[in-house]
Amino acid sequence: MKERLLLYLKRHVPFIWKLIEGINNLLTGLLYRNRLKRIRNKYAEVQDFEGLKIKLLRLSDIQLLGNMLNNLQPADYTYFRPHGFDEKSLKKVVDRNLYLPFGVVEENRLIGYAFLRLFFTGTVFFGRMVSPEYQGKGIGHRLAAFIQQVAAELDFKAFSTIHVDNVKSLSTHEHNQNIEIVKKLANGYIMIKFVLPKKGIENG
């Protein structure tokens, strides 16, 4: 399966992965230009989703995102380190065709962060984080539902990887009947696939 190969290369063959990153950015932008443009236009302004104020993050939001991520304690990102938290890495997240990043906004700060990690194969991987002081309020569940909605609008296959000891993330998905466990991965991770509704988006 392509998804398993991509994960393997990312974790075990970093020099090949860096090359793939550049190719992936180029091909994703070419193959899905129209879809990405529609999503970026639709979510350009703050959206109200089940009581959350969610915005698509742009270059002007790097400081907000950096403040949230760099205020986390090491225990908070034991299972969440999808990319670097430095300015250079965050610029790549918000300004290339590798990610669609979203933030939950409250009083001019981010209290939640979620992204779709895009691949030219028509695949996305999910990731999300809620600031520790706002956890336990259902934000994670709603944020997960939101990014699944965006993935469905893109008409991409959607996956996520979860560590078996990540109780909070597992609890978010345990009542979701639209997921399938694809495979047990190395180091205690499992890969899950989301069964998303078809939105009928046109190709390209």
2-194 domain in CATH 3.40.50.300? no
In tens, the pLDDT along 33-75 reads 999 999 999 998 898 999 999 999 999 999 999 999 999 988 8
Q: What number is the average pLDDT over the span 167-171? A: 73
Q: Give the residue, 125 or 171, on which the prediction is more confident.
A: 125
Q: What pLDDT was estimated at residue 34?
A: 95
HEC readout, the chain: CHHHHHHHHHHHCHHHHHHHHHHHHHHHHHHCHHHHHHHHHHCCCCEEECCEEEEECCHHHHHHHHHHHHCCCHHHHCCCCCCCCCHHHHHHHHHCCCEEEEEEEECCEEEEEEEEEEECCCEEEEEEEECHHHCCCCHHHHHHHHHHHHHHHHCCEEEEEEECCCHHHHHHHCCCCCEEEEEECHHHEEEEEECCCCCCCCCC
pLDDT over 80 at 14, yes or no: no
Average pLDDT along the chain = 87
pLDDT over 90 at 155, yes or no: yes
Q: What pLDDT was estimated at residue 2?
A: 64
Annotated domain spans of the chain: 2-194
pLDDT over 90 at 11, yes or no: no
